[in-house]
Structure 1
Amino acid sequence: MTEIADRHLVEQYIRSELVHQGSFLQVRKDVVRLPNGGESSREYVLHPGAVVVIGLLDNGKVLLERQFRYPVGLVMTEFPAGKLDAGEAPLVCAQRELLEETGYTAREWAYAGPMHLAIGYSDEVIHVFFARGLAAGERQLDADEFLDVCSMTPEQLLAGVAAGQVTDAKTLSCCLWLQNVQSGAWRLEWQAVQS
């Protein structure tokens, strides 16, 4: 996947229009030049970026949360996650979100990599982190945030995926990471970090 080899696939920006400006999301409509010389439009959401944390508990379970997600009208089972504040480093965001939503801090962190969540209509990048050496503490939920913290064995989580009970895209992708890290197929570089 080299830049030169893919040049024949790249669309070129011509102009852009702001369709909607929300409190943190922006919707744009761009006109682009296609590789064949034609023009087309692309509508997409600009997102500030986010993190997701795969928290490994000492008892072999993973840390999860359940919360109502309004756009789909369902209570979803998810790994803890949240959006980056302006100028915030992904690790700092991961530590903040883990503490705020679950009350946990971690002795060690490992960056797994970036994940593009919805490439057809958004530029959102979620940074995937693993955390271990977890210590329970007091949650610091926002006033408008309501969620339950829970845990499952990886086997229970994967059974929920197989049964169609866990359908959140970032959590599904993180299950792939979790399986490969636990099997030893993928390695992480753990770092002791002050939470």
Structure 2
Amino acid sequence: MGNSEKKLYETTEFKGRIIEVKKSEVLLPNGKKANREVVYHPGAVAILAINERQEVIFVKQYRLSVDQELLEIPAGKIEQNEQPIDCAKRELMEETGYSSNDLRLIADVYVSPGITDERLYIYHAQNISEQTNQSLDSDEFVTLEYLTVEKIQEGLENLTFNDAKTVIALQYYLNTLDDE
């Protein structure tokens, strides 16, 4: 059995439009029982996109969960039966008005595996082109911001970015600059 836990029973505590919360009783490796609460999420994507001026494209939006506006790379939830790469193309277009058929997966991570099964796929969109205006959902209010490498380095040093997916993507970007 190793360090794994055996699920003894599970109940749904909440089922919403996006997430489902379940409570489980588990048998621990030492034979004791414990309770676990897990948030089940369909997964998400995030996109590192650099425009023709070599600026990274960000979205700035208010996040109720942390009660502040955050500067993030474009991202969104994977729809049912949607492949992550298709979601990335869709979200890039909807949130920024840019498109790319040249996306490369740079990270595949669990957001917070202690409480959720949410899996996040981070893509680098290359050879992007501006196609249209943003096509936001009716409950989305985001503004676009464009930052140079210098501003990104400054922001990372000053802890300006506090969104994990954005920090991962920006560190990747800065680490690959020498490769170009």
Give TM-score scaled by structure 2 length.
Answer: 0.93
Q: What are structure 1's unaligned runs of at least 5 residues? A: 1-6, 188-195
Provide the C-alpha distance between the structure 1 equivalents of 2:177 and 2:35, rounded to a whole number of angstroms. Answer: 43
- Counterpart of 1:181 in 2: which secondary structure? helix
Q: Which moved more, 1:39-48 or 1:173-182?
A: 173-182
Corresponding residue of 1:25: 19
Q: What are structure 2's unaligned runs of at least 5 residues? A: none
1:15-55, Cα deviation, whole Å (9 max, x unpaired): 11111111111111111111111111111210000000000
Alignment partner for residue 168 of structure 2, among 162, 166, 173?
173
- Counterpart of 2:92 in 1: which secondary structure? helix
- Counterpart of 1:144 in 2: which secondary structure? coil
Change (3 A) 1:34 1:183: farther
- Counterpart of 1:173 in 2: which secondary structure? helix
Provide the C-alpha distance between the structure 2 equivalents of 1:159 and 1:37, rounded to a whole number of angstroms. Answer: 50
How many residues of Structure 1 are paired with residues of Structure 2 in the alignment?
A: 179
Q: CA RMSD in A?
A: 1.6
Tell me, yes or no, if the aligned pair for 1:161 and 1:167 is still in contact at 8 Å.
Answer: no
Give TM-score scaled by structure 1 length.
Answer: 0.86
Percent identical pairs in the alignment equals 31
- Counterpart of 2:37 in 1: which secondary structure? strand
Give the aligned residue type for 1:166.
F
1:135-175, Cα deviation, whole Å (9 max, x unpaired): 11221111111100111123312322322221011111222
Shift, 1:126, TM fit: 0.6
Corresponding residue of 1:190: none
Alignment partner for residue 116 of structure 1, among 95, 110, 124?
110
Provide the C-alpha distance between the structure 2 equivalents of 1:94 and 1:164, rounded to a whole number of angstroms. Answer: 26
- Counterpart of 1:60 in 2: which secondary structure? coil
Corresponding residue of 1:93: 87
Tell me, yes or no, if the aligned pair for 2:26 and 2:35 is still in contact at 8 Å.
Answer: yes
Corresponding residue of 2:46: 52
